[in-house]
A and B are shown apart, each in its own frame.
Chain A
Amino acid sequence: MFDLKKFFSKKPSSSDVARDRLKLVLVHDRANCSPELLEMIRGEILEVLEKYVNIDSSKLDIRISNHEREFDGKPALIANIPITSMKRGQNN
């Protein structure tokens, strides 16, 4: 049966929603790490880095991933931290 309402709606299908929710929940399950814990780790990493460099926090990406090939599906902390400039006084 052709469902016009569904055809015109932009809502993703419920199976896509299920898959995405599942993936997200498993990232935390597998890493045994809650979003709160990740937030704490992120905060402390930045605190240390900010002593030495300036960071573009809008492009910051810190997460736990299970999909990194080189880690064989095991959870890995992936951090992409763009540095805008070195802090003064670090080079001497």
Chain B
Amino acid sequence: MGEVIVITSGKGGVGKTTTTANIGAGLVNLGKKVVVIDADIGLRNLDVVLGLENRIVYDLVDAVTGECKIKQALIKDKRFDGLYLIPAAQTKDKDSVSEQQMVDLCNELRETHDYILIDCPAGIEQGFKNAIAGADKAIVVTTPEVSAVRDADRIIGLLEAAEIENPRLIVNRIRPDMVRRGEMMDLADMKDILAIEVLGIVPDDENVVISTNRGLPTVADEASFSGQAFRNIALRITGQEVPLMDLELDNTVMGKIKRLFGIGK
């Protein structure tokens, strides 16, 4: 029986879609069978982040309304064997899907897959309610900003009200240099304020932009710092204990070269 995990944040633009794509690909690289679902109907994006935008025939609305078989709506990622995408519908609105339809879809997919990851739309309206309806667990993504953490706190409250217990936190786009200067909140601050378990921290990394340009998840990039962060997160989701990354790593070009050769931090 697979596990359904919703990836949510409240605030937009904190990296939910990138996180979903990378965790999905990361889990596949660990030998899992994974479906990623884009629940952001009307503003689909997970397809382009994964580089699968040209392969869409059917979408989420087709799948839940019976326009097509669920199997037909699954787009197989040829680069990651075992990764499937159900894209959002682009021309319909959020009410085209009901909470019960999402529950049914998740229950069907969990029969044949290890993980079902749902990329939740921003906001707390119907789109959010649909996205969390079928979920067993939740991951809350935030960035070290007052607005993003505030929204994360609201989302944690709503998840608990919906009886999705113990959501876990990913803090995205941390800049260690700014934290060191006292110009950015650090992990301890956010952990203390939100009082939830931390699933992972992801450094701000230009490799994410570069790989997203190419439609490739960063997690496949062995040398990238953020890729390592997402690989660690995938491992933790499978139940392995992996210590949090040391963000003080030397992330200059020279530091990366040293790391490639296995010397230096």
Contact = CB atoms under 8 A, between A and B. Distances in A.
Interface of A: 13-16, 18-19, 21-23, 25-26, 29-30, 73
Nearest to B182: A13
Nearest to A32: B157
19 contacts: A14-B183, A15-B179, A15-B184, A15-B185, A15-B186, A18-B144, A18-B145, A18-B184, A19-B189, A19-B193, A21-B146, A22-B146, A22-B150, A25-B150, A26-B153, A26-B193, A29-B154, A30-B153, A30-B157
Contacts of A15: 179, 182-186, 189
Interface size, B (range): 10 to 19
B241 to A, nearest CB: 26
Contacts of B118: none
Contacts of A29: 150, 153-154
A64 to B, nearest CB: 15
Given A15-B189, A19-B193, 12 more contacts: A13-B181, A13-B183, A15-B179, A15-B183, A18-B185, A21-B146, A22-B150, A25-B150, A26-B193, A30-B153, A30-B157, A73-B195
A18 B179 CA distance: 12
A73 B193 CA distance: 11
B149 interface: yes
Contacts of B150: 22, 25-26, 29
B149 A22 contact: yes
A18 B146 CA distance: 6
Contacts of B186: 15
B182 A23 contact: no
Nearest to B183: A14
Interface string B108-138: 0000000000000000000000000000000
A23 B193 contact: yes
Nearest to B194: A26
A25 to B, nearest CB: 6
A69 to B, nearest CB: 12
Contacts of A25: 146, 150
Nearest to B150: A25
The 4 closest A-B pairs by CB, nearest first: A13-B182, A22-B146, A19-B189, A14-B183
B193 A16 contact: no
Nearest to A66: B195
B165 to A, nearest CB: 14
A75 to B, nearest CB: 11
Contacts of B195: 73
Contact of B182 (A16, A22, A26): A16
